Amino acid sequence: MISNLGFGALIIAFIVSLYGIVTAILGQRKNNFQLVESARSAMQLTFPLITITAISIIILLVRGNYEVQYVYNVTSNAMPTYLKITALWGGQSGSLVFWAWLMSAFATAVTLRKWDRDRDLLPWVIVVSLITLAFFLIMIIGFENPFRRFWFSADGQEMVAMFQPAGSQLITPQDGRGLNPLLRHPGMIIHPPMLYLGFVSFVIPFAFGMAALITGRKDDRWIRLTRRWTLVAWMFLSIGLVLGSRWAYDVLGWGGYWAWDPVENAAFMPWLTGTAFLHSVMIQEKRGLFKRWNVILIIMTYLLVILGTFLTRSGVLSSVHAFAQSAIGPLFFVFIAITMLVSIALLITRWGDLASEGQMTSLLSRESLFLINNLLFVGILAVVFWGTVYPLISELLTGQKVTVGPPFYERSTGPLFAGLLLLMGVAPLSAWGHSTWKTLGKAMWKPAIATLVVLIGMAIGGVRNPGAFLGLGLSAFVIFITLYEFWRGMRARHKRSGENYLEALIKLAGRNRRRYGGYIIHLSVVLMAIGILGIEVFQTETQAKLAQGESVSLGGYTVMYKSLAEFDVNDGRNVARAVVDVYKDGKYLGELNPRRDYYYDSQQPMTIPGVRSTLEDDLYIILVNWEQISSRGATFKIFHNPLINWLWIGGIVLILGSFIAAWPDAEKEVPVAVSNKRKNQKTQTAASTD
């Protein structure tokens, strides 16, 4: 019953999408705005319809209707309710529904705004959004239907079908397989929706970009309208990537966080073009340059989003993430190919309209440095894309599958990332239009001296690794420059207005949220870079079999094995939990509990490290093995991961910076404080309807 309801809503949503596409095009052709309005209503109707589908799946999951294949695959009786709900995106077909649901929500949100100024764009935004949505819906309906059930046919065969085959009976298993224990982690529960939010939000600027291309509008209206969408999309994608890393670090027990696997790359690639886009749109806004390039970037981002959603499920590339493969491969490549061809054709048609309004003159100008920034981002994209598809290329050309491992990515992207770090320091100091070494040097010399002090400090502290010098040196440089920028702005405001420093700082950032939010995001990226450098360059490890009371030392810590207990937990786990004492310089710091959980339902062990996390370093202990009867000896693997915590802290700062940057700007400074507030409120409400 619920299955049929959910499936029916899905089909109606698909039909409504098709209706919306056709009416929007017709309405635009005939200049009949009633038809466009009807298309808009169709767009808005998809959201409640897909909501019905999503809620149907959730009800089935929570009730444990194991006759439904999807429910059987991703839940089990032993799972707590919240995990049953989040199992909506625990498998392929559910996550596609979830994707479509978000997509319809976002597209609806867009169509709810006032369109008075941009009436001409509306039908095309609807068309592009609905085509994307319809594509996902047909994928779900045709290939990935989450409502298929198990049937026992008349001739004794087990089968999976949506509707009851003649003479068959429903099979209802008593329990499901359950979500893989490795995925039962907070990071893994939030990580997919964050990625999807990021993916889906990027469809909106793409839809506007296409609408601008089709209507032939030359202005940057589409960019201004979708600026916040882009930033929010970028933020969610960033959070998704960081959470995925965190999950790998916490759960996979190898002390790492990123493996350059095709699946990871697939999520990383749209992030790269999206980041380039975020920067280069500013040049179009300020200087009227790079119009074609911006359109190219948003097209690439959209295509990479679609690619990222399907690549690893299409069976074309082998990944260690063993996603279920399905028949969606060919259709999905056809969709990408058509989108690409249509986008390129449109771009060529409008090529002349998108000419720059001026040209760059100074190599050190802001726009020139942004251009380099874009080249570097696209360069990293080229590296990652090349590495990801290299097995396919090599097989095509030589008949022999050849892969490239993490060293390829690290060596190729390392210099490019270093270049980006340097730019992050220099570019904010340069001026639009024209800069010289002299003006740059004037703004830079103080932070440069501070950086030198840090480098000397590192050398005295015993650091010898050139990569660490370069990376941490650049990081320090960017931090100093950024803080110095804050300081200069704050001081100038303090002198001018007489506000105290804190007030001046808050108002300064409030007046120019995009700029200072951007600086905070830069700081966050540098913090992450420090975390990555810390673990990549300075990680050490050891392993030891310890009898009770014995200890082992690593990275200044001493770890003493105290005891081990094995017990059953009522959620279907057997836990082996060790107690170790941690000392540093002879001082007792506390105990850690590395453990091994064994899940009875899925017959799978799961290693959970004991981690002592500080700003300076992580002590990361894995229980490898133990003597089961006597519990006397146990083997541990221990990692010392310096600075890794800054990677996660950077992730939090990034969210903060994104919020500041995305928050509507007050448009003008008004001298009187009272009218200031009022004005603020006004412009904010005005902007939020934007």
Partner 1 sequence: MDEVNVLNETPKKGGQIKFLIGGALIIAAIVLLIFTNTKAGAQYFLTVDELIDRQDEMMGKEVRISGAVLGDSIDYNTDTLVLHFSVAHVPGDNKDIEAAGGLAFVLHQAVNDPSLNRIPVEYVGVMPDLLRDEAQAIMTGKMGDDGVFYAEELLLKCPTKYEEAVPEQSS
Of the two residues 401 and 682, which places its CB atom closer to partner 1 in the complex? Answer: 401
Min dist. Cβ of residue 185 to partner 1 (A): 10
Min dist. Cβ of residue 111 to partner 1 (A): 32
- CA 540/CA 638 separation, integer angstroms: 8
Interface of this chain with partner 1, residues 426 to 455, rule: CB under 8 A: none
The H or E element spanning position 587 is: strand 587-592
Q: Quick one: which of 60, 298, 383, 621 contacts partner 1 (CB under 8 A)? A: 383
Using CB under 8 A as the binding rule, whether residue 315 contacts partner 1 is answered as yes
Using CB under 8 A as the binding rule, whether residue 407 contacts partner 1 is answered as yes
| # binding residues, partner 1 (CB under 8 A) | 77
Interacting stretch for partner 1, rule CB under 8 A, among 222-230, 411-419, 568-576, 671-679? 411-419
Interacting stretch for partner 1, rule CB under 8 A, among 167-175, 320-328, 484-492, 673-681? 320-328
Using CB under 8 A as the binding rule, whether residue 408 contacts partner 1 is answered as yes
Interacting stretch for partner 1, rule CB under 8 A, among 88-96, 457-465, 528-536, 666-674? 88-96
Binding mask 265-294 for partner 1 (x = CB under 8 A): ------------------------xx-xx-
Burial (CB < 10 A; 0-12, 13-18, 19+), residue 154, is exposed
Using CB under 8 A as the binding rule, whether residue 389 contacts partner 1 is answered as no
Q: Quick one: which of 154, 159, 334, 402 contacts partner 1 (CB under 8 A)? A: 402
Q: What is the dihedral of CA 217, 220, 222, 227, to 10 degrees?
A: 180
Q: Quick one: which of 254, 484, 486, 659 contacts partner 1 (CB under 8 A)? A: 254
Q: Is the dihedral of CA 329, 334, 339, 344 positive or negative?
A: positive
Min dist. Cβ of residue 131 to partner 1 (A): 26
Of the two residues 414 and 510, which places its CB atom closer to partner 1 in the complex? Answer: 414
Cα-based distances in Å from 574 to 128, 591, 602, 607, 618: 51, 21, 12, 12, 27
User: 325-338 burial string, b = 16+ CB within 10 Å, else e?
Assistant: ebebbebbeebbee
Interacting stretch for partner 1, rule CB under 8 A, among 200-208, 338-346, 373-381, 424-432? 373-381
Residue 148 identity: R
Q: What is the dihedral of CA 60, 61, 64, 68, to 10 degrees?
A: 60
Of the two residues 361 and 675, which places its CB atom closer to partner 1 in the complex? Answer: 361
Q: DSSP for 301-313, please give it.
A: HHHHHHHHHHGGG
Using CB under 8 A as the binding rule, whether residue 324 contacts partner 1 is answered as yes
CB atoms inside a 10 Å sphere around CB 427 = 23
Using CB under 8 A as the binding rule, whether residue 577 contacts partner 1 is answered as no
Contacts (Cβ under 8 Å, ≥6 apart) of 517 = 509, 657, 658, 659, 660, 661, 662, 663
Using CB under 8 A as the binding rule, whether residue 400 contacts partner 1 is answered as yes
Q: Can you name the residues that pair with 592 across neighbouring β-strands?
A: 580
Q: Quick one: which of 5, 12, 259, 463 contacts partner 1 (CB under 8 A)? A: 259
Min dist. Cβ of residue 123 to partner 1 (A): 28
Of the two residues 393 and 502, which places its CB atom closer to partner 1 in the complex? Answer: 393
Residue with tokens 């799978």: 604
Using CB under 8 A as the binding rule, whether residue 372 contacts partner 1 is answered as yes
Min dist. Cβ of residue 393 to partner 1 (A): 10
Q: Quick one: which of 130, 134, 140, 296 contacts partner 1 (CB under 8 A)? A: 296
Using CB under 8 A as the binding rule, whether residue 382 contacts partner 1 is answered as yes
- CA 36/CA 200 separation, integer angstroms: 23
Min dist. Cβ of residue 180 to partner 1 (A): 5
Q: Quick one: which of 63, 117, 321, 488 contacts partner 1 (CB under 8 A)? A: 321
Cα-based distances in Å from 424 to 350, 494, 609: 33, 26, 36
Q: Quick one: which of 514, 545, 584, 612 contacts partner 1 (CB under 8 A)? A: 545
Contacts (Cβ under 8 Å, ≥6 apart) of 411 = none
Using CB under 8 A as the binding rule, whether residue 405 contacts partner 1 is answered as yes
- CA 278/CA 261 separation, integer angstroms: 26
Pairing type for strands 158-161 and 169-170 reads: unpaired
Using CB under 8 A as the binding rule, whether residue 538 contacts partner 1 is answered as no
Contact present, 640 and 541 (Cβ < 8 Å): yes
Using CB under 8 A as the binding rule, whether residue 218 contacts partner 1 is answered as no
Tokens read off for 350? 């409008």
| Closest to 136 (Cα-Cα) out of 270, 367, 312, 332 | 332
Contact present, 523 and 653 (Cβ < 8 Å): yes
**DSSP class of 575:** E
Of the two residues 97 and 251, which places its CB atom closer to partner 1 in the complex? Answer: 251
Interacting stretch for partner 1, rule CB under 8 A, among 230-238, 323-331, 455-463, 641-649? 323-331
Tokens read off for 218? 């030359």
Min dist. Cβ of residue 156 to partner 1 (A): 20
Using CB under 8 A as the binding rule, whether residue 197 contacts partner 1 is answered as no
Contact present, 522 and 482 (Cβ < 8 Å): yes
Min dist. Cβ of residue 197 to partner 1 (A): 18
- CA 249/CA 93 separation, integer angstroms: 27
User: 470: helix, coil or strand?
Assistant: helix
As a residue count, the chain comes to: 690
Residue 586 identity: G
Tokens read off for 342? 């249509």
- CA 207/CA 301 separation, integer angstroms: 12
- CA 527/CA 644 separation, integer angstroms: 10
Min dist. Cβ of residue 515 to partner 1 (A): 23
Interface of this chain with partner 1, residues 37 to 76, rule: CB under 8 A: 73-74
- CA 641/CA 638 separation, integer angstroms: 10
Q: Quick one: which of 8, 165, 173, 379 contacts partner 1 (CB under 8 A)? A: 379
- CA 167/CA 298 separation, integer angstroms: 52
Of the two residues 19 and 323, which places its CB atom closer to partner 1 in the complex? Answer: 323
- CA 132/CA 152 separation, integer angstroms: 36
Of the two residues 185 and 522, which places its CB atom closer to partner 1 in the complex? Answer: 185
Contact present, 633 and 538 (Cβ < 8 Å): no
Min dist. Cβ of residue 249 to partner 1 (A): 12
Instruction: Give, in degrees to the nearest 5, the angle at Cα 132 between 42 and 7.
Output: 65
Interacting stretch for partner 1, rule CB under 8 A, among 138-146, 219-227, 371-379, 462-470? 371-379
Using CB under 8 A as the binding rule, whether residue 92 contacts partner 1 is answered as yes
Min dist. Cβ of residue 160 to partner 1 (A): 12
Interacting stretch for partner 1, rule CB under 8 A, among 8-16, 360-368, 451-459, 654-662? 360-368
CB atoms inside a 10 Å sphere around CB 567 = 9
Min dist. Cβ of residue 268 to partner 1 (A): 15
- CA 115/CA 421 separation, integer angstroms: 40
Min dist. Cβ of residue 28 to partner 1 (A): 29
- CA 604/CA 231 separation, integer angstroms: 40
Interface of this chain with partner 1, residues 329 to 358, rule: CB under 8 A: 355-356
Interacting stretch for partner 1, rule CB under 8 A, among 30-38, 59-67, 387-395, 425-433? 387-395
Interface of this chain with partner 1, residues 620 to 679, rule: CB under 8 A: 622, 624-625, 635, 637
Interface of this chain with partner 1, residues 581 to 620, rule: CB under 8 A: 602-607
